[in-house]
Amino acid sequence: MANLQNSTVTGRMTVTGALKHNSTGVSNWQVLSHCANGTDTTPNYAGGRLHVRTPIRADNSHLGWNPIIMEVRGYHTYSGDTTHNFMALLNTNGYNNSFYGSQITADSGYNSLPLVYKSTSTYGGYHRVCFSVTKVGCCCTGHIWIRFWNNPTAAYDYAWATEGRGDSQSSLSAPF
Amino acid sequence: MADLQATTINGDFTTNSGKVFDSGSSFTPWYKLGHCDCSSDPTGNSDCLGTGHPYLHVRTPIPADNTHSGIGWMPMMFEVVGYHTYSGEKFHNHKWVVNVRGDNNGFSATQLSNQATALGWTGYNIYRSASSYGSKKRVVLVVPKVACCCTGFLWVRWSISQQYRNDNAWATQHFNSTTVGY
């Protein structure tokens, strides 16, 4: 692994992995697809909601009165039947480690209906921050991008995962 | 200092303490600041005492003067993202076009959008400093805050004129006005 000091690249620099600009406090964008497998296949093609499990630990080891902004953008289907554009403040109570639920402080896009929640199971020893948004029941084109503001190294703590479900914003059927 | 030509990195590229200046995009890296001010007010108002003023003024290094900087007729996108307090009582996601007229040196900051917050534009402003810092007047950003040293950060970046990122020191101070400060 190259370990560079001050460097100048005159020309194009291509990074095939992630560009982790940690000193700014902002993570890189993680891109995911809406096309997901699902144990709940009603409606067909993995349901009407996309659930995303992020690497952020939903406890004081990553949060704890030191909130992280989660920013989400994206679209699903060729005509953008749903578009995502929201920011949520992720936080836990530093006293008792309880997770603050969905604090959507931003525009929610079009037909996105975002919901942020804490995983029921643990992954790598920790509960993780998850969210769900509306998707269309097809494997049409459409991507979703997520990045975090504050504590950017938390974004690389664990694997991402997605799953389709037939639940709704008001009736959570947490797959994770 | 390594001086590389076109480069491909097969894997991750991590910067831990330095910055990536993406000159090709014209956007600066995000600059991270805090909201807390416990010492700057001569009357003793302090966020540490819960008596802080409601507005944080961020003095950027950007010259707001056509005479010195030559930024006249060269508008830049100016963005701020952030939050203040544990529950995000203040939440920033705002953009401006900042410009200096080339003919008469007039300063303008046009509100572009408050795309993300229910707060709208209440408590936000961008103005040209009344005083000079490093012999130039500077672009000052104003955001609302809560009178406490609660957790909360804000990030600032702009397009065009990356060279001004280090033209002068950054500074923050709380004030009781959205228009008068630096």
* A91 neighbourhood in chain B, CB within 8 Å: 86-88
Coil, strand or helix: which one is A22? helix
Q: Do B91 and A149 touch (CB under 8 A)?
A: no
What's the pLDDT score for residue B120? 77
What's the ipTM?
0.87
Looking at residue A57, its pLDDT comes to: 96
A162 HSE (CA, 13 A, CB side): 21
User: Does A107 contact B115 at a Cβ distance shorter than 8 Å?
Assistant: yes
> Which of the pair, A46 or B136, is modelled with greater confidence?
B136
Eight-state DSSP code of residue A155: G
Nearest-by-Cβ selection for B3 from A8, A17, A20:
A8
User: A52-76, pLDDT tens digit by residue?
Assistant: 999 999 999 999 889 999 999 999 9
pTM: 0.90
Residues of A with CB under 8 A from a CB of B: 4-26, 65-67, 69, 85-87, 89, 91, 100, 103, 105-107, 149-150
**Residues 6 or more apart from A165 whose CB is under 8 A from it?**
A38, A40, A46, A47, A48, A49, A51, A132, A173, A175
The pLDDT value given to residue A69: 94
Contacts of A67 in chain B (CB under 8 A): 83, 86, 88, 151-152
What's the pLDDT band for A43 if we cut at 50, 70, 90?
low
Structure tokens at A80: 């953008």
Cα separation of A130 and B139, whole Å?
A: 39
> Which chain B residues are Cβ-neighbours of A106 within 8 angstroms?
91, 93, 115-117
Rounded percentage of chain A residues whose pLDDT exceeds 70: 94
CB contact under 8 A, B117 and A106: yes
Q: Does the beta-carbon distance from A13 to B1 stay under 8 Å?
A: no
pLDDT at B55: 96
Distance (Å, whole) CA B79 – CA B133:
22
Is residue A175 over pLDDT 90?
A: no
Q: Which pLDDT value is given to residue B18?
A: 79
Which tens digits make up the pLDDT trace of B4-52?
888 888 888 888 787 888 777 778 889 999 999 998 788 889 999 999 9
**Average pLDDT of the residues in A24-38:** 86
Sorted by where each begins, the domain ranges of chain A are 24-164
> What whole-number distance in Å separates Cα of residue A51 and Cα of residue B134?
51
pLDDT for position B60: 94
How confident is the model at residue B149, as a pLDDT? Answer: 92
CATH architecture group of domain A24-164: Sandwich (2.60)
pLDDT 10s digits, B59-96: 999 988 887 666 788 888 899 999 999 888 899 999 99
Q: For residue A159, is pLDDT > 80?
A: yes
* CA–CA separation, B48 and A159 (whole Å): 40
On whether the CB atoms of residues A84 and A75 are closer than 8 A, the answer is: yes
Spell out which residues of chain A touch residue B18, defining contact as CB-CB under 8 Å.
Answer: 6, 23
Which distant-in-sequence residues (6+ apart) come within 8 Å of B136 by Cβ?
Answer: B63, B64, B65, B68, B69, B167, B168
CB contact under 8 A, A6 and B2: yes
Q: How many CB atoms lie within 10 A of CB A59?
A: 19
**One-letter amino acid for residue A21 of the chain:** H
| pLDDT tops 60 at residue A40 | no
Tens-place pLDDT, residues B168-180: 999 999 999 999 9
Q: Suggest the residue from A14, A69, A147, A151 to mutate for an interface test with chain B (most B CBs closer than 10 A).
A: A69
Residue B102 — pLDDT band, cuts 50, 70, 90? confident
Query: Which of B8, B9, B13, B90 should one mutate to test binding to chain A, selecting the residue with the greatest count of A CBs within 10 A?
Result: B13
Of A16, A26, A89, the CB nearest to B88: A89
Q: Is the pLDDT of residue A30 over 80?
A: yes
Which one, of B65, B66, B21, B39, lies nearest residue B163 by Cα?
B21
Question: Which of B1, B5, B7 should one mutate to test binding to chain A, selecting the residue with the greatest count of A CBs within 10 A?
Answer: B7
The residue in chain B having the minimum alpha-carbon distance to the alpha carbon of residue A86 is B116
Q: Which residues contact A53 (CB under 8 A, 6 or more apart)?
A: A119, A123, A128, A130, A160, A161, A162, A163, A176
Lowest mean pLDDT among B88-102, B108-122, B131-145: B108-122
Q: Is the pLDDT of residue B118 over 90?
A: no
Closest CB from A14, A86, A106 relative to B9: A14
User: Using one digit for the tens of pLDDT, what is the confidence trace for A101-155?
Assistant: 777 877 778 899 999 999 999 999 999 999 999 998 888 889 999 999 998 889 9
Taking contacts as CB-CB distances below 8 angstroms, the residues of chain A near B30 are 24-26
